[in-house]
A and B are shown apart, each in its own frame.
Chain A
Amino acid sequence: MARYDSLLDACGGTPLVGLPRLSPTVPEGAPPVRLWAKLEDRNPTGSIKDRAALFMVRAAEEAGRLRAGDTILEPTSGNTGISLAMVAKLRGYRLVCVMPENVSTERVQMLRMYGAEIIFSPAAGGSNQAVATAKQIAAEHPDWVMLYQYGNEANARAHYETTGPELLHDLPSITHFVAGLGTTGTLMGTGRYLREKVEGIQVVAAEPRYGELVYGLRNIDEGYVPELYDASVLSRRFSVGTRDAVLRTRQLVEVEGIFAGFSTGAILHAALAVAHEAVRDGRRADVAFVVCDGGWKYLSTGAYGGTLADAEDALEGQLWA
């Protein structure tokens, strides 16, 4: 049992649990290959993004960029918005989220519950319209502060200073760290820390491969790599499709009782790939991977039941991670 002065102080320190049933079986006499799940859904708002949100707000306060009563602008409909809403509430800031009007009702309800204000951009206009709306809002409110998680070093530092040390403390024999690649903050921060401390550590990225609708209109010349990304921190990078992510998400709850969102399924898929390679090569492996959030916010997709093909259809066109 542990006691904290406030919810913000309860951020991090999440459990690392073994997966005895999902870990691959090794031949008799061969070294063990074990999977370990870091339960980031146990953070204050239920996702790993609490760590980055707290560090980014603190860094902005220390730099004098954020003062009591200021307004934070965050163009997101995801976990970062929910984490920032909680931190903003407890630290005395106003949070305005800009998002397309077709995001799930759970997201909108959660953000409003935490006190965030929401400005919708028309769904019909797609991401171009969202960008235009965000630009317009920013121009009208030059004093609002944006933390910009894709390029904010405090995002990666949160993981360098907390997630990394926690993992090494709980699993000194760690050989592989597997996490999702979005802003890249988790992998950059945790990966750098573990590379400094653990010889031969493998830092493995799992990247969601969405349905075609998501990529459909993307022009290669308008692509994007987050400013935080440094490929030299990674050992390998896997692209995981919707079907594999759904399959693993279901396996995780069916076999080990861990109810997670689909990004975690993608990460588990990559973790199992490296675990099976270790078995094939007869090497010892302690593979730690991140459970980013619980499955609650995604139940309304319907992708937890029915056939895999149905689930794939349900998630087509959605940014499920």
Chain B
Amino acid sequence: MAIEVRIPTILRSYTGGAKVVDGTGDTLADLLNDLDSRHGGLRGRLITDTGTLHRFVNVYVNDEDVRFLGALDAKLSDGDSVTILPAVAGGAFGFAAAAAISSHSAAAASRHGAVAVR
């Protein structure tokens, strides 16, 4: 048995278009190394130069966020299901539009409770 890994659309260019690939490893770090040996470049999209999970990538083991399970050291077992997803805020439209207008003044919003739209 192996570990089933779900790949988001944006990263399927590394898996020949496959939505789901199999891998092995005792930890998430091991699994990503194993995947990279067959799907070269995938690991580099998920891990930063400093060796941590990319801020805008969420990885879940059996539906639970690995950042609360030890991140790259999270323990894995055969039969586990791993899901990789880009970070998307709830209500993606509202966020995208709001952030586009006010990203440069978000800090001001948090200090003053509101921002004048610029």
User: B56: which A residues are within 8 A, CB to CB?
Assistant: 220-225
Q: Is the CB of B113 within 8 A of A152?
A: yes
Q: Contacting B90 at CB < 8 Å: which of A77, A121, A208, A219?
A: A208
Fill in one digit per residue for A32-61: 1 if any B CB lies within 8 Å of its CB, else 0.
000000000000000000000000100110
Interfacial chain A residues near B11, Cβ < 8 Å: 220
A235 at the binding interface (Cβ < 8 Å): yes
Contact B117 A75, beta carbon cutoff 8 Å: no
| Across-interface contacts of B89 in A (CB, < 8 A) | 150, 182-183, 224-226
Give CA–CA (A321, B92) in the complex, Å: 10
Q: Known contacts A99-B93, A183-B89, A226-B89; is A238 also within 8 Å of B115 by CB?
A: no
User: Is the pair B57, A148 in contact by a Cβ cutoff of 8 Å?
Assistant: no
Asked if B38 CB lies within 8 Å of chain A CBs, one says no
Inter-chain CA distance A210–B83, complex, in Å, is 13
Q: What's the nearest-Cβ distance from chain A to residue B117, in Å?
A: 4
**Which stretch from B23-31, B72-80, B94-102 is at the chain A interface?**
B94-102
Contact yes or no, B99 A224, CB < 8 A: yes
Cβ-closest chain A residue relative to B84: A220
Please report the total number of B residues contacting A with Cβ < 8 Å.
Answer: 47
Asked whether, in the complex, the Cβ of A98 is within 8 Å of the Cβ of B113, the reply is no
Q: How far is it, in angstroms, between the C-alpha of A219 and the C-alpha of B41 when the chains are bound?
A: 16
CB of B84 to closest CB in A, whole Å: 9
| Of B54, B94, B100, most A-chain CB atoms within 10 Å | B94
- Is there contact, CB below 8 Å, between B10 and A220? yes
State in angstroms the CA–CA spacing of A149 and B110 once bound together.
9
Task: Tell me the chain A residues, 99-151 only, with Cβ under 8 Å from chain B.
Answer: 99-100, 121, 127, 130-131, 133-135, 138, 141-151
Contact B118 A142 (CB under 8 A): yes
B65 near A238: Cβ-Cβ < 8 Å: yes
Query: Which residues does A use to contact B, with CB under 8 Å?
Result: 56, 59-60, 62-63, 65-66, 73-78, 80-81, 98-100, 121, 127, 130-131, 133-135, 138, 141-154, 180-183, 205, 207-210, 212, 214-228, 231, 234-241, 319, 321
Residues of B within 8 A of A (CB): 8-11, 45, 54-58, 60, 63-65, 67-68, 83, 85-102, 106-107, 109-118
Cross-chain pairs A/B with CB under 8 angstroms, 21 sampled? A56-B113, A60-B112, A74-B98, A80-B94, A127-B92, A130-B97, A131-B96, A146-B101, A146-B102, A147-B113, A150-B98, A181-B90, A210-B88, A215-B8, A218-B88, A223-B86, A231-B68, A237-B64, A238-B64, A239-B65, A319-B93
